Chains A and B, each alone.
Chain A
Amino acid sequence: MNAFWRVVWVVARKDLAIEARSRELINTTVFFAVSCVVVFSVSFVGEGGDGRAIGDAAAGILWIAIAFSGTLALGRTFERERYGDTLRALLLAPGARAAVYVGKLLGIIALLIATQVVVVPLVALLFQASLFEHFGMVAALLVAGTIGFASVGTLFAAMLARARSRDVLLPILLYPVTIPVMIAGVRGTSALLAAEPQLDMARLWIMLLVSFDVVFVTLSLWTFESLMTE
């Protein structure tokens, strides 16, 4: 078990070190997420008025920005491995394949959470959304949702790394599978953003997200090995 976590740590640290030096993914992903929020704000905030988005659009915009920028980041991390011809080296490394998966997953989760640190205040500011009122619950929703999205995303991006037309196939495969996560995230967040925050409702959606996480992570760990053999 110790050896497993050592491989996980090495893989995750490798990605974080590359990121810390080049800042390629974090810069592009954050700016893409910000652009998404701005594009949606143009469509969903009426002129004049109180500057709030229509209905519960704020929660939806936040999650769409996360999903879109997450897809982009997922594609890029494996594109980088492919470009440097290091994907095979990574898979040949001694130690369990599943450890490589978990290491990659942790790197992507860290990246997406760093993006959310920028996007959440921005959404709160631009849409007068009270995201910080029940911050613990919002954070739990975001973390659980990110794990669910990234666990499937890492698996699909890894297996598509060598496929033809992978750029377009990644979102095509990823969205139908992860829409349940998006639904739970959006509904949970909008329950918290309502004029009367519904804490019980949000707790229910968090529980549901956690159960999705368990299913997705288990399935991914179980299939990663056989999907990555050449």
Chain B
Amino acid sequence: MRKAIVPLFAASGLIFMTAPILIARAPYESTMGLVQKIFYFHFPPAILMLVSSIFCGILSGLFLIKKRPVFDWMAFAAAELTVLYGAMAMVTGPLWARKAWGVWWQWDARLTMSLLMWMVFVSYLLLRRYGGPGSETLAAGLALFGMATAPFVYLSVNIWRTIHPLTSVVPTLPVDFALPLWYAFLGFFLMYLALMALRVRIEEQRAMLDQLYLESEE
């Protein structure tokens, strides 16, 4: 895991440097034109936020059952990354919406549910920061509730009529659009892995330091 951090950062950096070329060469979408290009930076973090929240929930469940600290470190990292990627999706979303829908924000099902999920994970971080000793167990319980909102976020556009595009859009994209999209996605994904590895390593070191501190006290 540790040896992979630098190559992962390098690979995602390389992709982020070259992705604009592919995105610039992709054809213009017929109705939205240039504005639609935000899509390449909106969809990947949004999907990764969802995946990350589910990942955090599963790891938290494992931590509650098995009590192994490594699950907790990974769940903590996943929660932070959920908030980070959610913030990216929620900055790029309104920028696009302003041009495409004429408003910055709309209280439709997809947007509301995404915001709520993001808030659950922000509260997770607040709990861990200010909850005092034992808060990692409590946060794990909260993450399970956060994970329970993920299917609602994903399916909300199909169940309720909203102005957000449906989930069927991405799988049926023509290849000219799909290629830069998945290329950008790969960049975001590798960055996710790199940050996750780095974050887990920090927690690992912190636990080791605590251990050493305790031993020197005795």
Enumerate chain A interface residues (CB-CB to B < 8 A). Answer: 152, 155-156, 159-160, 162-165, 169, 172-173, 175-177, 179-180, 183, 215-216, 219, 223, 226-227, 229-230
* A179 CA to B120 CA, complexed, in Å: 11
* 8 more A-B residue pairs beyond the given contacts A169-B123, A175-B119, A223-B141, with a C-beta to C-beta distance below 8 A: A155-B141, A163-B131, A177-B120, A180-B149, A223-B144, A226-B141, A227-B140, A230-B134
* A101 CA to B84 CA, complexed, in Å: 34
With contacts A163-B131, A169-B126, A176-B123 taken as known, whether A227 is within 8 angstroms of B116 at the C-beta atoms is no
Indicate if the CB atoms of A227 and B152 lie closer than 8 Å.
no
Given the complex, which residues of A lie within 8 Å of B152, measured CB to CB? 180
Q: Choose one: B65, B127, B132; the contact of A173 (CB below 8 Å).
A: B127
Q: Does B208 contact A (CB under 8 A)?
A: no
Indicate if the CB atoms of A152 and B145 lie closer than 8 Å.
yes
7 A-B contacts (beta carbon < 8 Å): A163-B132, A163-B134, A176-B122, A180-B149, A219-B145, A223-B64, A223-B141
Given the complex, which residues of B lie within 8 Å of A160, measured CB to CB? 131, 138
Q: Does B135 contact A (CB under 8 A)?
A: yes
Q: Does B213 contact A (CB under 8 A)?
A: no
Given the complex, which residues of B lie within 8 Å of A175, measured CB to CB? 119
* A30 CA to B134 CA, complexed, in Å: 33
Q: Does B137 contact A (CB under 8 A)?
A: yes
Query: Residue-by-residue, is B110-130 near A (CB-CB < 8 Å gives 1, otherwise 0)?
Result: 001100100110110011001
With contacts A163-B135, A164-B130, A164-B131 taken as known, whether A173 is within 8 angstroms of B148 at the C-beta atoms is no
Given the complex, which residues of A lie within 8 Å of B145, measured CB to CB? 152, 177, 216, 219
